[in-house]
Structure formats: C-alpha cells, structure tokens
Amino acid sequence: MLSGLRDLLAGPIGQFPATLVLGAVCILGCLSLNTLFLAWLERVVSVRIQRRLGPVEVKPQGALQTAADVTMLLGRRLLTPVAADRHVYLAAPVLVFAPTLCVASLIPLSGAEAFADVPYGLLMVGALPCFTALAIIMAGWSSGEGRAVLGAMRSVAQVIACGMPVLLSVLSVVLISQTMNLRRIVEAQQHTAWYVVYQPVAAALYVIGIAAVASRAPFGIPEAGSVPIGDVRAERAGMRLAMFRFAEHTNMLVLGALGATLFLGGWMGPFLPGPVWLLLKAYAIVFLMMWTRWTCRRLRFGRLMRLAWGYLAPAALVNLVATAAFVSVLG
Amino acid sequence: MSWAGALFGVAAVIALIGAVGAVGLRSAFHNVLGFAVAMLGVAGVFLSVGHDFLAIVFVLICGGALPVVMVHAVLLNRPAGEAPRPRGRAATLGAAAVAAAGAVAAWLVVSGAPWPPAGGRREVEAAWAGYRFLTDYVLAFELVSVLIAVAMIGAVTVARRRRPKSEG
C-alpha cells in the first residue's frame, strides 16, 4: 500500500521527495494517534491494577478524559522562565522527539515496506537514543533552574547506565543473525524460532533496559514526585509539556516495536497483515511496561545505578560472550 | 543539481555554521552545541557522498560522546547571571597561533597523502573497519580512549569547588 502511494506521489514531485513526504506524514500521524491511545490505555491499566475508580467526570464513563487533557494542554498559556536560555529552551522539546522519529522510520513494517531500509539500521538505532540524552541535558540546562539541571543529570546517567545492557543484548541478536539490517533480522527468524527462544536472557535484559531508558517506573526516578527534584519538565506547561509526553509515549511504542523486530519475529504472523502483527507485538511489550509501572515500587537512584552497572551490564556482557562462543563453535 | 549534490551543500553549510559556533560563542554550553551541529553536518557530508556506514559510525561516536561532553560543559559553565569574562589578547593570539599551526599541519598531511585514484564509490564493510581498528589503527584507537579519560579527569579537577582551608 505504501509503495503504491509513493509511486503515485513520485510522478509529480520525484521519488526522493515523495518518500520523504509520505514517510513524515504517515509516521507523524500514526505516532499522534498512538499517543492518544497510550494515554487512554495507561489510565485503564492503572485503574484496573490498582482497583481505583479513575476519572469519571468526562462522560461517557471518563472515556473522553484523554481528549479533555489534550484540550487543556493546548489551551494553556505558554510561559518562558526569565532565566531561561530562550532558543535552546524552545528547541529542546522538538529535539527530544526527533531521534525517536528517526528510529521509527527505520523499523520495517513488512517484508516489502519500510520507510528507510538502511544496511546498518541497527547501528543507527543504537546511536540515536544518545541524542535524546543530549536533548534532555539541553532541556534541563536551558530552563535556568537548578532542579531541572539535576533532573537532567539524573536522566542522562540513567539513559547511559541502562542503555548499555540494551545495546549489549541487541549485539547478541546481531551475532546470531549475522546482520545489522533490521529487515534481514526478521527474515532470519522466518527460518528458525523467534530469537526470544534462543536469547531469553537478552530479551529480558532488553525489556528491563528499555523501561529504564524510557524512564518508566520502577525506574521513573527523574520524575519522582516524592523527592524535591522533578525532571526537565519542571518549568514547562501547555504544548511544551505535551511535546515531552508525546516523546515519552512515542519512545515506548518505538522501543516496543524494536523489541518485537529483534526478538518476536517482527511483522511475521498468520492471517493479519504484517504491520498489524508488528503493532500487536509492540503493544504487548508496552503493556508489559505499563503492568510493571503500576505494580512495582520505584527504586532509589543509587539502587538503580547498582542494578544497571552491577548486574544488568555484566549479565548482558556474559550473555554476549556466551553467544559469541556458541556461534563460533557451531559456525 | 542532484539530490545528493544538494544534500552535500546543505550538510557542508551546517558543518561550517556549527564549527563557527563551536569556537565563536561565549558560553561553553553553546560551544558544545555548535560542535554537535558541526559533527552532524560532517555525517551528512559522508551520507551525501554515499558512505552510509561511515556516516552512521560518526553519528554513533558523536552520539555517545556528546552527552558526556555536554555534562562537562554544564560543570565548567559560568554561573547563571554572571557576565562573560573578557578574553585576554594573549590567550586569543595563542589560540589563533595553535589553530594556524594545526591548519598548516592538516594541509601538509592532506597534500602529501597518497590518495587512491577516483574509482567510484567504495563500500566500507563493518568487518573490514573493525579489523583495521584492531590491527593497523589500534594505537590511535587506544590513544583516543586515553584522551577521553584525561579530559574527564581534567574537567572534574577544574569544576571541583575549592574549599577555604578553615573548613578543613
């Protein structure tokens, strides 16, 4: 379907701009809908798990609460702190979102459809989250507020500490599949079982790691309400705050889709179209993150660092070495 | 003009603007931002001439290093509200002399290097690059890591608050 649309557009404006325009419109549209859906799903999951009533003011049965929240955010006045570095302050929300958008364009939707089929796609996927860390520091520092800077430092420390086991567990998949092309990784799983069967440790480390990278509880330390820090969003309201929430929900879906691509066979599945299977698997991982968030208590920062550097990273390293030995012995 | 040519031009302009910002702006934080823009521009230049792998590796290295550099910039930056210190003439002249020497050295290396004849685009494979890093260029590879360690120690030393002796 996407190929047909691209060919249709390519007639008047050319192949390259047609791919750019179509990719940007489709990805941004889908991710906007995803944000609304995940905000609603998060509320439903939290209410069910914690046996709470939830918001019921917006009829019917509070189902339109998400729409009401969006309207409220859009209607709020935009304020810029006096001490803020204005240009960096305004650019930071967009830059927080941009790397996730790039990663989303790299994930193959089916055997024939991907916005960007890059030979070293996985390498790029590993590089781009670092720019999210960069944007977080920009957001914190530009607020001109000490708490936001401390929150940014915590966020960056968390992303770097927990991103390490994620990257190492992803490398185990590369060793088995012998490629860094995401489409070929999925195709390699067509001839064998899904990689979650061969790499259960890597899959578990990946899920734990992405929950921490996305700052989801029990790793939601930068935004912990129980400590007087707050995170980089401390000095933001309205659309500027909404952009951060947009980035958070998009990050969850993209990391879930990447996990589905690496460990759950990507678009593969019977009866339904490939993109639908990919979304179902991605939302299954997202649901796991939500379940954990509303079930487990939040870790302290020191304990998270000990967990990441003391247990997760060594476990991922041992798994990587064992996989390398296994692959080299079996050829 | 082809799309690759246009991309090359845009990426080169971005790299130059970033480089000017990296040395010309007065805040250490803004300098790092300019450096990040310059590095992304260089990656765009690699991409426009068809070296996808080099572009991605460049983004990977910069993406990993820049957050750490930026944290250092936050540590080293002057407190909010404090006016920037005027630059001394001796320091400016010294920096200009070092930059000129670097430019001359770079020109000598570039002009004297035995460049291979233009034979079209060459595909750089990950295995080939990894092999060269761990054999021919292992010393440079390790020296870079030592440089980063020295930079971290230096930043911590500079940023550390010096307590008065009476506080112990």
**B67 contacts chain A (CB < 8 A):** yes
Rounded to whole angstroms, the Cα distance separating B99 from B33 reads 20
Per the prediction, chain A carries an average pLDDT of 82
Tell me if A183 sits within 8 A of A264, measured CB to CB: no
Work out the pLDDT band at A226, boundaries 50, 70, 90: low
In a shared domain, residues A15 and A144:
no
Same domain, A46 and A161: no
Interface check B70 vs A, CB under 8 A:
yes
The pLDDT value given to residue B105: 93
Average pLDDT over residues B22-30: 83
A171-217 pLDDT, tens digit per residue, is 899 888 888 888 888 888 888 888 989 989 999 999 998 888 887 77
A119 touches chain B (CB under 8 A): yes
Residues A292-319 have a mean pLDDT of 88
Report the distance separating Cα A265 and Cα A188, nearest Å: 9
The percentage of chain B sitting over the pLDDT mark of 90, rounded to a whole number, equals: 15
Closest CA to B25 of B78, B94, B102: B78
CB contact under 8 A, B59 and A119: no
More confident residue, A7 or B33: B33
Q: Given an 8 Å threshold on Cβ–Cβ distance, is B53 in contact with A119?
A: yes
- Residue A141 contacts B, CB cutoff 8 Å: yes
Contact call for A123 and B74, based on CB within 8 A: no
Does A183 share its domain with A43? Answer: no
DSSP string, A103-115: HHHHS-SSSS--S
What range does the domain containing A256 cover? 84-330
Whole-number pLDDT of residue B18:
92
Using 50, 70 and 90 to split pLDDT, how confident is the model at B168? very low
Nearest to B63 among A120, A127, A137 (CB): A127
Would the CB atoms of A124 and B60 count as touching at under 8 Å? Answer: yes
ipTM of the complex: 0.74
pLDDT at A164 over 80: yes
Q: Do the Cβ atoms of A232 and A151 come closer than 8 Å?
A: yes
Q: Report the percent of chain B where pLDDT is more than 70.
A: 81
Q: What is the pLDDT of residues A148-161, one digit of tens each?
A: 888 888 888 888 88
Given this model, what pLDDT does residue B163 score? 59
Q: For chains A and B, what is the number of CB pairs under 8 angstroms?
A: 61
Counting beta carbons within 10 angstroms of the beta carbon of residue B126, is it exposed (0 to 12), middle (13 to 18) or buried (19 or more)?
middle
Residue that is last in its domain, among A34, A54, A75: A75
Q: Are residues A71 and A201 in the same domain?
A: no
In this structure, are residues A187 and A111 in contact, taking their beta carbons and an 8 Å threshold? yes
User: B155 in contact with A at a CB cutoff of 8 Å?
Assistant: no
- Tell me how many domains chain A contains: 2
Which of these three, A10, A42, A75, is where a domain ends? A75
User: Per-residue pLDDT tens for A114-132?
Assistant: 666 777 778 778 777 677 7
* Average pLDDT estimate for A326-331: 82
What was the pLDDT predicted at A71? 85
Do A62 and A54 touch, CB atoms closer than 8 A? Answer: yes
> Are A97 and A41 members of one domain?
no
Q: Are residues A149 and A231 in the same domain?
A: yes
Regarding whether A251 and A149 lie in a shared domain, the answer is yes
Chain B window 43-62: which residues touch A at a Cβ cutoff of 8 Å? 52-53, 56-57, 59-60
Distance CA A245, CA A214 (A): 11
Give A-chain residues touching B78 at CB under 8 angstroms: none
Which of A118, A130, A154 should we substitute to test contact with B (largest number of B Cβ atoms within 10 Å)? Answer: A130
pTM of the model: 0.80
